[in-house]
Amino acid sequence: MTAILYPVATNAEQALSRPLGRAARESEARRRAGEAVVFATDPVGPAFATREAALDAYAGRVEDERTGSTPEAEDRYCRLVEQLADGAPRPRPVQPVYADGKRWPEPPKAPRTVWRLTVSYWRIGTAERPLDLPQARQARKSGQDLDADTLRAISRTPLRPTKPQQPLDIGLFETRPPEAPHIVMPDE
C-alpha cells in the first residue's frame, strides 16, 4: 500500500501551488523543512454552491464518482467538504411534540451549505498558527465571557487530554501469565 505524500508548506495555498517537498511521515517532513512541522488540514479556494461545480473546478485533485477518475494513491491529500455558508444560521435542536400522533415536529428547512476543498499538509512550525484557545470545559469553569467567534473556534479545535491517560485495568476474571506479563488472558 502506498502512503499519501503530504505537501510540506507554510500554508494551504502554498501546499497546493508550490510546496517545499512532500513527505508521508513527520520525520521526513521535518528534514525537508529543516525545522519543526505540524500536521494541518485547512480549507482553501472559493466556496462552490454544488458538489458538481467543485468537482469540475478541482478535476484530478479529488475523487470524482461521476467519471470514475481518482488521483494516484500518494496524491490523495485533498478532499471536498460541505460547510455551512457564511451567515447561514446553525440548525437548532428540536424538542419532541407528542401531538397528533407524531413524536417529532416537521423538520426545519435545511441551512444553505457550500463545498470547499480542504488540503492536508505538513505546516512548518514557525508559520502562522491558529489561535491556541483554551478548551471549552476550562473556559466554562473559569467563567470567561467569550464572543461567538471564539466559541465557534473552540468548538472546532481537536480535544486535548486534561491529564495523561491512566493504564487500563484488567477485568475481574482476567490474569496476566507470569511467563508473558504483556498478555491478558481470561481466567476460568
Question: Which pLDDT tens digit goes with each residue over 106-124?
Answer: 888 888 899 999 999 999 9
Q: How far apart are CA 37 and CA 8, in angstroms?
A: 8
Residues 86 and 149 occupy one common structural domain: no
Q: What does the pLDDT average to over 90-110? A: 86
* Secondary structure class of 45 (helix, strand, coil): strand
Burial of 50 (0-12, 13-18, 19+ CB in 10 A): exposed
Residues 76 and 145 occupy one common structural domain: no
Out of 128, 143, 176, pick the residue that ends a domain. Answer: 128
Residues 140 and 107 occupy one common structural domain: no
Residues 146 and 87 occupy one common structural domain: no
The answer to whether residue 60 is domain-embedded is yes
The answer to whether residue 167 is domain-embedded is no
Residues 68 and 150 occupy one common structural domain: no
The answer to whether residue 92 is domain-embedded is yes
Residues 99 and 154 occupy one common structural domain: no
Per the structure, the complete domain to which residue 7 belongs is given by 1-128
Out of 87, 108, 128, pick the residue that ends a domain. Answer: 128
Contact 58, 44 (CB under 8 A): no
Residues 21 and 108 occupy one common structural domain: yes
Residues 76 and 141 occupy one common structural domain: no
Residues 21 and 75 occupy one common structural domain: yes
Number of folded domains in the chain? 2
Per residue in 126-167, pLDDT (tens digit) is: 655 555 556 666 776 777 777 777 777 777 666 666 666 666
Which secondary-structure segment (H or E) carries 28? helix 26-33
Instruction: Give the 3-state secondary structure of 141-171.
Output: HHCCCCCHHHHHHHHHCCCCCCCCCCCCCCC
Provide the grid cell at 121.
499538509
Residues 35 and 66 occupy one common structural domain: yes
CA distances from 91 to 16, 36, 97, 107, 153 (A): 33, 39, 18, 10, 18
- Among 18, 90, 7, 88, CA closest to 47: 88
* Secondary structure E strands in the chain: 6-9, 21-23, 37-48, 78-84, 113-124, 174-175, 185-186
Specify the DSSP class assigned to residue 97: -
Band of pLDDT at residue 53, cut at 50, 70 and 90: very high
Q: Distance between terminal CA atoms of the chain? A: 41
- Quick one: pLDDT at residue 181? 84
Query: In this structure, which amino acid lies at residue 84?
Result: L
